[in-house]
Every structure is written in C-alpha cells, then in structure tokens.
Amino acid sequence: MTESGPVAAGEEGIGGQPAIPPVRKPDLNHRPA
C-alpha cells in the first residue's frame, strides 16, 4: 500500500508508516524537520 501511490514517492517505507503529511506531523515521523 505504501508503494501504490504518490505518498510512496517521498516515503516508501523508511519509517514503516505511510506518511501522507510528511511535514505535518514530524513528531510522530522519523523526520526532524
């Protein structure tokens, strides 16, 4: 599922969860930005 949409274009399983808003919730994600 993570590699079946535009979401996978940026994060295709780096953290393990489909980060739809990679810049919206950086606290729960692996992105410090």
Q: Give the pLDDT score at 23.
A: 59
DSSP label of 20: S
Give the model's pLDDT for residue 27.
Answer: 62
CA dist list (Å): 22 to 4, 6, 11, 27, 33: 17, 12, 8, 10, 9
pLDDT at 13 over 60: no
Q: Average pLDDT, stretch 1-25?
A: 56
What pLDDT is recorded for position 30? 60
**Tens digit of each residue's pLDDT (9 = 90 or more) over 16-31:** 666 566 555 556 556 5
Delimit the domains of the chain by residue range.
1-33
pLDDT for the residue numbered 19: 58
Q: What's the pLDDT score for residue 33?
A: 53
